[in-house]
Structure 1
Amino acid sequence: MKKRYITGFDGLRTLAVVGVILYHIMPFKFQGGFLGVPIFLVLSGYLITDHLVLEYEQTGTIDLKNFYIKRIKRLYPGLITMLMATTAYITLFQRQLLVNIRGVIVTNLLYVYNWFEIAHGESYFDKFGNQSPFTHLWTLAIEGQFYLFWPLIMLALLVFVRKKQPIFDILFIGSFVSALLMAFMFHPNQDPSRVYYGTDTRLFSIFLGASLAIIWPSGRLRQRLDGRLRLMLDGIGIVSLLLMLWMFMTTSGQSDLVYRGGMYFFSLLATLLIAAVAHPGADLNRMLSNPVFTWVGRRSYGIYIYQYPVLIFYESAVKNIAAHPWLHAIIEIIIICLISEFSYRCIEKKLSKFDYSQTWLVLRDSFRKNSPFKWRQVGIVTATAVTVIALFGIINQPDASAVQKDNQLQQVIQKNEQATAKRKKGKKLTAKEKQEQKAAQASAQKGLTAAQKKRAQMLQVTAVGDSVMADGMETLQNIFPQMYVDAKVGRQVAEIVPILQALKNQGKLADTVLIGEGTNGPFTQQTLDQIMTITKGHKVYWINVHVPTKNWQNQVNSDLEAAAKKYHNLTIIDWYSKSNNHPDWFYSDNVHPNSNGLKYYGDVVARAILKKK
């Protein structure tokens, strides 16, 4: 048996990393791109297990020390560079992202970051607000846990179970158990980040790849196949590839089906495709081998770890992504490729073979008077400066409450939530509070006719929304005192489905329903249909979005316009057109109305609702 370098696997890595990047850049166009991650996991399961089995069969053991050293030298240089460079950047330019930075760094170095994200309730699907540039590293945490424990597990299986068929059965059953765990722990219409991040609920992809390695070892596959078997294997691979591409384009990350068998099915397709590519007698390896795929595949690790920080920092610097989404997407991809090329050539490739016992000698020789290594000197000085800045940010990690206190928008939202909670509990207001409320109502209703004011006073409205509505809920309630508001920061459109259904079941859903959703990302047709089914017989008003910093703005608004044509009880309130050329109406994020903008926000909503009364 000889270990083969299968060039077609670079094509699979390219497919995986491109899918993930396109999902992050344009989630409404490539909504299934997140499925690139299972490809990485299945491939890792196959390659690592294939290597371990080969080593055991040739030597009668597994050199654990050598395995761990190779993994550390392969993974840590790029990871540490990314962590330090990203932390240095946010220390200089986006200090609010330094909250919890110590925990982020430590858990990433220990490869348990996915559990850190779960413990802190971080959402993978909330695409708005102060997004962490480290969110995507949950995948590396699962891979790191796999690299740590898998050699020990495989050694135990090979020593005590021995026969390959029982080992295959154990691994395949393990994959099925993990998939069942994902299905049972998933709760419809709730953020699925727990099952998305969890090692326990994602192991099925790794187990499928590992089980394939047991029965399909790369070194024992025949070099030639007869025509019928070759065509069959090619056909299986091509059909699997086409189905995977179709799922890339059509599968929503918040679809119930994804977590109830869909992701497992995708991983099975990836396993079949890997089997076809790995076989030297088939044609898939040649089909997925070309210079472009080789370039991307070999740099896929760097591309993956750097892509999210680039997207976060670029989109925070460019204030109108939505105006030219494709142009900005191309620029972002170019930046990612340039950084990844530098990382591959100057960090990953060099340090994976570096003898760290010679570190001091290399540093000493680099700074000798006649040293020819001028670029090495620049690199060392730059790395030192970046590390010092990053350590400064880590040491001076800001307190979350202090950052929140400095956020004027957050203060407004908290004040609104407290006032709304007081309304819901029916607490009596003090004389001063009554006077302030009366003045606020008079200001909010300014511009309405006497008849409109009277109707607004009596109108029952149920309002659900995201942070924009949370920002404006006090203004809206000053216009509509009978309004019930349920607004939450970071809320996705799918999350309002159970809220509306619960109100409907309790008989508390008003005839007039106001929805303010879409700021945090696009929605699926299935979600929209669910909302409109629940609100059938009600008059529904949906405020479209002004979120120029995200490329889904136009998609959300065009989808809402199409929905209004389909559902006759749905009216779109065009906040986007009214506010688009008024940056003075917004906080610095150019999304949430400030005190000046809230006057117009309330007026636009009130006039739209009262117009048809």
Structure 2
Amino acid sequence: MKHPTGQGKTTSHRYITGFDGLRALAVIGVIVYHILPNVLKGGYLGVPIFLLLAGYLVTNQMVGKLVNKQSIRIVNFYCRRLKRLYPTLISMLIFTITYITLFQRNLFYQLKSIFITNILFIYNWWEVIYDQSYFDRFAGESPFTHLWTLGVEVQFYLIWPLLLVLLFKLLKNKQQVGHIVLALSIVSAILMAVLYDPSHINRVYYGTDTRAFSFLLGAWLAFIWPADQLRNQLKPQAKKLIDITGIIALLAVVLLYFVLPGEAAFTYYGGMFIFSIFAMILMGVIAHPGSSLSAWFTNPIFTWIGKRSYGIYVYQFPVLIFYESNFKNIGSHPLINAIIEIGIILVISELSYRFIEAPIAKFDWQNFPGKLTKFKNISWQWLWLVPTVIILGIAIFGIIQSPSEKPQSALEKRIEQNNKTIKQHNSNIKSGKVDDQPPIGDGKVAKKYGLSNQQVKAAKQLKVTAIGDSVLADSAVNLQEIFPNIYISAKVGRQSYEAPEIVQSLKRDGHLANIVVINLGSNGIITDSDAKSILKTIGPDRQVYWVTTHIPSKAWQKPVNKEIKKIDKKYDNVHVIDWYQYSIGHPEWFYSDNVHTNVDGNVKFAKLITGKLLND
């Protein structure tokens, strides 16, 4: 895009009010994605918008000075950035750690590492090392997962000014530097595609190098579309062209919000880069003071959300996770609970903005020592120190005392032991050592699971392949007792997008039987494309039995079960095993998470699957 220049240009420090609206669009996408992932599959793409804005605003401030041979006060820049980011981040960390220490002991581990890596802004790489998935919304969910973004952003802030100064010293002019910036952005996008591994998305999702293209596209835009050279007034034809361009970009951004899942391969093979290009164009149009979109994105609601977007983003995950931990029936009323969760997030963000962000931004730090000397004149204004000291003390205790590794629960120990049994049983099948005799004998099997002798004999002859997540792993031993020839592939945190590759591997190794049981959906949504890919890989000649999910604390329970029933109607070889309906009203079958089955629940789960396989 070529920018119109001339009379009426604004200063390089003008506040672009429409950017508050763009921040609002970004944070709305992220929040809706986290609360209702089935509604906005690509809402996570709000993060590239934040990175685009950071790249544009930072570079726009610096390029003019570098072109005019003015010095850049890099240390002051660092201080301003940290002053903006630290207060809310540290407050969130302290409050969240305090809550965990007092009320959420299942999350009481690794708090020291989490706190240190966050205040050093390297948390994204910590998540890569510890394989903390952004998309596992059940088994691996943490109230700190989303803070990877701040690590990436601050790393850019630290590196970019130095790199920009170096490029201007090495190259002849502004245009050449701009070309290098664009080239670096393309290299980053290519690196994301090259390093993409469907079994280990975390590396490319959290990596600073693989996410740099959004920041760099924003930086490149500052070279070709600088805010200080955009006219306030436009000719009607030029205004129309810019507005149409902005509307097309906005529609593309919104469309990709709805259709680009974070688990899809295309997302990493250019999809996220394409989104960033459309978002960059939209940002450029909004930056222009003469465009209609600049006015549209400058409205009271968007402005309010945009100014508080940082707090909204930071506080969202703790609110969601703590809320879902205390209210176990979210899946039955996802919309109502979503409204309540959003309300809580907005209230906390407003309090943070009023009492933390805004006051600290205006605080007179130079005279702070003098104020402390007057502390003896205690007034009500200082009473906030008492609860602050208490909360801080509890948080420090939590940071010091929390174990470095997660303690194993009874359920986790059971699943770990079951995984060993699964591995041994699968090995026996591979080597042909498994006979048709159930491990505990026909009579005991019949009595334990309420089956007839005829059903037990029929089950002994069936060859079955079961693919699933931790729910399947939890009940694997029970299924092996009934089906001696069952080959099980189960993994904690597994999601539907991983299944096609697993099915392909099983088929290649000769372990994909004519009867396939699928138990997925506990850790996230099942998209149409996921289901289609899974069934295409399995093939139409095999019978597929898909188990509905029971996960009442998550909003995707209904959408997942709806999707399973939808594919049952669409494919002749698909059959539904309705575990959700069968288990309603039986909380005694589950562990405290109300998802994984206990000893009694495992028997019921295995019996239901057996009945469906034998009757069909």
TM-score by length of 1: 0.95
Partner of 2:151: 141
Match 1:578 to one of 563, 569, 582: 582
**What secondary structure does 1:62 align onto?**
coil
1:208-223 equivalences under 5 Å are: 208-223=217-232
| Cα distance change of structure 1 residues 485 and 581 upon mapping to structure 2, 3 Å threshold | same
Give runs of aligned pairs for residues 92-241 of structure 1, distance below 5 A: 92-129=102-139, 131-188=141-198, 190-241=199-250
Counterpart for residue 305 of structure 2: 296
Structure 1 partner of 2:554: 550
Structure 2 residue corresponding to 1:83, chosen from 66, 78, 93 = 93
User: Unaligned regions of 5+ residues in structure 2, if any?
Assistant: 1-10, 432-436
Per-residue CA deviation, residues 488-546 of structure 1 (Å, 9 max, x unaligned), is 11000111211111121233211111111111111121111111112220111111101
Q: Please report how far the alpha carbon of residue 361 of structure 1 lies from its aligned counterpart in structure 2 after TM superposition.
A: 3.7
The match for 1:494 among 487, 497, 504 is: 497
Does structure 2 conserve the Cα–Cα contact (< 8 Å) formed by 1:205 and 1:264? yes
**Which residue, out of 540, 543, 551, partners 2:544?**
540
Structure 2 vs 1, CA of residues 238 and 585 (structure 1 numbering), >3 Å: closer, same or farther? same
Supply the AA of the counterpart residue of 2:489: D
- Contact persistence 1:241–1:269 (CA under 8 A): yes
Distance 2:272 2:68 in 1: 35
8 A Cα contact 2:445 2:451, kept in partner: no
Distance, in Å, in 1 between the alignment partners of 2:447 and 2:275 is: 52
Measure, in 2, the Cα distance between the counterparts of 1:603 and 1:19: 42
Aligned partner of 2:424: which letter? K
Matched, 1:311 2:320: yes
TM-superposition CA deviations, 1:12-49 (whole Å, max 9, x none): 00000000000000000111100100110011100010
Q: Is the 8 A contact 1:322 1:551 kept in 2?
A: yes
Aligned to 1:431: none
Cα 1:283–1:446, aligned 2, differ >3 Å: closer, same or farther? Answer: closer
Tell me which residue corresponds to 1:448.
451
Whether the 8 Å contact between 2:438 and 2:484 is mirrored in structure 1 is: no
User: What is the alpha-carbon distance in structure 2 between the residues aligned to residue 441 and residue 173 of structure 1?
Assistant: 68
Contact 2:214 / 2:273 at 8 angstroms: preserved in 1? yes
Q: Structure 1: how far apart are the matches of 2:423 and 2:23?
A: 50
CA distance in 2, matches of 1:409, 1:87: 24
Deviation at 1:111, TM superposition (A): 0.7
Write the mapping of 1:474-493 to structure 2, written as runs, cut at 5 A: 474-493=477-496
- Letter of the structure 1 residue corresponding to residue 457 of structure 2: K
Q: Cα distance 1:446–1:96, how it changes in 2: closer, same or farther (>3 A)?
A: closer
The answer as to 2:511 corresponding to 1:508 is: yes
* Aligned equivalents of 1:328, 1:100: Cα separation in 2: 30
- For residues 540-565 of structure 1, what are the alpha-carbon distances to aligned partners after superposition, in whole Å with 9 as ceiling and x for unaligned? 11111010000100101111111001
Query: Contact (CA 8 Å) 1:497, 1:531: kept in 2 or not?
Result: yes
Residue 434 of structure 2 aligns with which residue?
Answer: none
Aligned length: 599
Tell me the distance in 1 between the aligned counterparts of 2:615 and 2:12: 77
Q: CA 1:537–1:436 in structure 2 vs 1: closer, same or farther (change >3 Å)?
A: closer
1:68 aligns with 2:78: yes
After the TM superposition, which of the residue ranges 353-362 and 571-580 deviates more from structure 2?
A: 353-362
In structure 1, the residue matched to 2:3 is none
2:351 matched to which residue of 1? Answer: 342
Contact 2:549–2:579 (Cα < 8 Å) also in 1: yes
CA deviations on 1:361-389 (whole Å, 9 max, x unpaired) are 434535524x3xx1x32322222111111
In structure 2, distance between residues paired with 1:158 and 1:440 = 82
Question: Is the contact between residue 240 and residue 270 of structure 1 (CA under 8 Å) also seen in structure 2?
Answer: yes
- State the 1:235 CA deviation: 0.8
Is the 2:442–2:456 contact (alpha carbons within 8 Å) kept by the matching residues of 1? Answer: no
Q: What amino acid does structure 1 have at the position aligned with 2:386?
A: V
Spell out the pairing of 1:378-527 with structure 2 (5 A cutoff).
Answer: 378-400=383-405, 403-404=407-408, 407-426=409-428, 437-438=440-441, 442=445, 446-527=449-530
Task: Output the CA distance in 1 between the equivalents of 2:341 and 2:465.
Answer: 41
CA distance in 1, matches of 2:441, 2:116: 52
Q: Which moved more, 1:175-184 or 1:58-67?
A: 58-67
Q: Could you tell me whether the CA contact under 8 Å between 1:73 and 1:353 is conserved in 2?
A: no
Kindly indicate whether the alpha-carbon contact (under 8 Å) linking 2:42 and 2:256 is maintained by their aligned counterparts in 1.
Answer: yes
Cα offsets for 1:270-318 (capped at 9, x unmatched) = 1111111111222211111011111111111111000111101101110
* Partners of 1:444 and 1:603 within 8 A in 2: no
Residue 333 of structure 1 pairs with residue 337 of structure 2: no
Cα distance, 1:441–1:482 mapped onto 2, change above 3 Å:
farther
Q: CA 1:596 to 1:480, structure 2 compared with 1: closer, same or farther past 3 Å?
A: same
The one-letter code sitting in structure 1 at the alignment partner of 2:267 is V
CA drift at 1:360: 4.1
Cα distance in structure 2, aligned partners of 1:127 and 1:497: 20
Which residue of the partner structure matches residue 593 of structure 1? 597
- Distance (Å, rounded) in 2 between the aligned partners of 1:545 and 1:146: 41
Letter paired with 1:572: V
1:332 is paired with a residue of what secondary structure?
A: helix
Q: Once structures 1 and 2 are overlaid, which stretch shifts more, 348-357 or 291-300?
A: 348-357
Structure 1 runs not aligned, ≥5 long = 429-433
8 Å CA contact 2:243, 2:293 repeated in 1: yes
Distance 2:459 2:448 in 1: 9
- CA contact under 8 A between 2:460 and 2:483: conserved in structure 1? yes
Q: CA deviation at 1:54?
A: 3.4
TM superposition shift of 1:130: 5.0
**Secondary structure at the residue paired with 1:352?**
helix
Residue aligned with 1:541, SS: strand
Provide the rounded CA distance (Å) in 2 between the counterparts of 1:444 and 1:82: 54
CA distance in structure 1 between the partners assigned to 2:26 and 2:138 by the alignment: 24
Superposed displacement of residue 597, structure 1: 1.0
What is the TM-score with the length of structure 2 in the denominator? 0.94
